[in-house]
């Protein structure tokens, strides 16, 4: 997971809520000190150890979890999903779909309303389906285009089945 960490002073763009934005989240390794201010993203283990300090941060915090993580493990480690501003789910490779299930479970069964961010091997052609499963932000792989990702998010204008982004099937929306 070390390759998914960024130096706190390096800023980069992500797709959040259907727009390309400058990401202001500071991604920290477990041995890096907490900065004075700013929203931070830490490992689940660190969040469990330093929960009280992180919850007290005005800018909020988030956790980074592997795509195969069980949602119950996140709740168990933190006691609740309530204090989290972001859950960043690591996509290990584009052919591993377990992160899709994790995103849907966090949204639908556990009621998480914060930012669900896909990080790692995130390809533009998967963004539409990730969004349907509940993701709201995407760190597209560095060798891929954010503009292509935005186009992929708008690939379909109508959906028939219910999903995390709209729990109503088409016939209920009429």
Which pTM value belongs to this model? 0.89
Residue 120 belongs to what H/E stretch?
Answer: strand 115-120
Which of 16-20, 125-129, 164-168 has the least mean pLDDT?
164-168
Q: What is the pLDDT of residue 12?
A: 83
Strand segments (E) across 47-106:
61-66, 84-91
pLDDT band at residue 1 using 50, 70 and 90 as cut-offs: very low
């Amino acid at each position: 997971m070390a390759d998914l960490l960024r130096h706190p002073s390096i800023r980069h763009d992500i797709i959040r809520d259907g727009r390309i934005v400058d990401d202001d989240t500071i991604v920290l390794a477990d041995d890096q000190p907490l900065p004075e201010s700013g929203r931070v993203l830490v490992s689940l283990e660190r969040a469990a150890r330093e929960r009280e300090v992180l919850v007290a941060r005005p800018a909020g915090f988030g956790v980074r979890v592997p795509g195969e993580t069980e949602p119950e493990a996140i709740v168990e480690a933190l006691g609740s999903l309530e204090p989290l501003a972001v859950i960043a789910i690591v996509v290990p490779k584009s052919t591993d779909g377990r992160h899709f299930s994790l995103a849907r479970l966090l949204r639908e069964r556990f009621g998480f309303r914060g930012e669900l961010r896909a990080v790692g091997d995130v390809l533009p052609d998967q963004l539409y389906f990730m969004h349907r499963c509940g993701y709201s932000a995407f760190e597209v792989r560095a060798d891929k285009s954010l503009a292509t990702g935005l186009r992929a998010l708008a690939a379909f204008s109508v959906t028939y089945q219910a999903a995390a982004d709209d729990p109503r099937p088409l016939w209920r929306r009429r």
